[in-house]
Amino acid sequence: MAGKASSTLPESISEGGTLLRDGLIWAIFCRPGHEPVELERDVVTQRLLTGAFPPELANTDGWAWFHFDIVHTLSRTQIESIPSLPEEVRQVLTNLERSIRLDSEDETVFGALPAFDDTTTDDDRNVSTWRFALEPDLLITTRRHPIPALGVVFHELRRGLVPRSPANLVDRALLEFADTLRRDFARLDDQLDRAEDVLLMLDRDTDLGRMSGLLGLVRRRSTELRRVLAPVDRIFKDEEMELPEWAEDDLRDRSHRQVHAALDDLLALQDRARSLQDELTSNQAEETNHRLYIVSVGTTLMLPATFVTGFFGMNTGGMFLTDGSWGTVEAGCLCFAIMFGTWLLLKFTRLL
């Protein structure tokens, strides 16, 4: 016998925690209706090299989940030497790029899917990728950064929520990603609510520049999320992609529904942000036009007075109003009279 499964899982196993052994974060065997058990190293090695579990595990209806950190050189070397996996699958599992894909070869489903990495705040949370190879009795996952969604799925297994197939784990991780997206959407929607309230109660003290910055943050974040979701939605809608029958239901149907629903919510959020941006732009243009209107009216009213002062400033002989002692007052009154006459003319022609 190549090895045995221990009856309990150590408390130290958690996504983002200390690696257990040479880049292998956890290796567990699951059976519906039973608590998962941790597999010892020789059992993991036997399954990866021979493609089969020991008899006491192979004769059950269970399946295993091996989770690797491919930053660790030994884990990449081990994955690249798995003879039971096709070469393309091994390359996907050890690839360090962030491209999204989903494909199948024979009875193996493999690909790379998005997830949020393990950052502290919602605003700083970045989108990362995790990779998987899926067989009827085995799920191999790899990642470079801690993926909280996989940690959530793992802890659900520890609580006894064991699905009938490892394909359900991939679907559950996508569901957790979609739920996190919706929480982000709700936060962005709250920011749009505040912006909309300010725009509806617009007054002279409203800082439209700050509102523009807020809407810009929402639109930038929603655009980043759309660039992640849209490729996943296209992958699941690809009619030429043929998945094995045992994975078709859990991956293509259920996962596509939840990803497509999240994408619909995101598009609705982007439409609302775009509408508020258009309204803000209109308000900014209206405020700018109002200020230019005031400047134009002031300039128009002062133009005749400027002409009068320029006329009296000419150094020529015979200038009237130079003989009396009230010449300056009389010239000033003339300026104001012409300004008043100009104002009346603008009102009469409805230019004011």
CA–CA dist 190, 133 (Å, integer): 38
CA distances from 38 to 12, 122, 150, 266 (A): 12, 33, 17, 39
Task: Quote the tokens at residue 110.
Answer: 């493999």
Q: Do the Cβ atoms of 168 and 139 come closer than 8 Å?
A: no
Would you say the CATH fold of 165-297 matches that of 19-163? no
CA distances from 346 to 148, 177, 336, 352 (A): 68, 63, 15, 6
- Mean pLDDT score of the chain: 79
Positive or negative CA dihedral for 40, 14, 152, 181?
negative
* Cross-strand bridge partners of residue 105: 108
Q: Do the Cβ atoms of 352 and 297 come closer than 8 Å?
A: yes
pLDDT one-digit tens code per residue, 233-288: 888 777 666 777 766 666 666 777 888 888 888 888 889 888 888 888 887 788 78
The sheet with strand 127-135 has its strands ordered as: 37-38, 24-30, 63-69, 138-143, 127-135, 108-116, 101-105
Report the pLDDT value the prediction gives residue 68, as an integer from 0 to 100: 92
Quote the radius of gyration of the chain (alpha carbons, Å).
35
The beta strands (E) that lie in 43-100 are given as 63-69
Query: b vs e for 102-133, b when ≥16 Cβ sit within 10 Å of the residue's Cβ?
Result: bbbeeebbbbbbbbbbbeeeeeebebbbbbbb
Q: pTM (2 decimals)?
A: 0.72
The beta strands (E) that lie in 117-181 are given as 127-135, 138-143
Where are the domains positioned within the chain? 19-163, 165-297
pLDDT one-digit tens code per residue, 34-43: 888 888 888 8
Task: Quote the tokens at residue 199.
Answer: 């725009």
pLDDT one-digit tens code per residue, 147-193: 888 989 998 888 888 888 888 888 888 888 888 888 888 888 888 88
CATH 1.10.287 applies to domain 165-297: no
Task: Quote the tokens at residue 1.
Answer: 């016998």
> In the CATH hierarchy, which fold is given to the domain comprising 19-163?
Beta Polymerase; domain 2 (3.30.460)
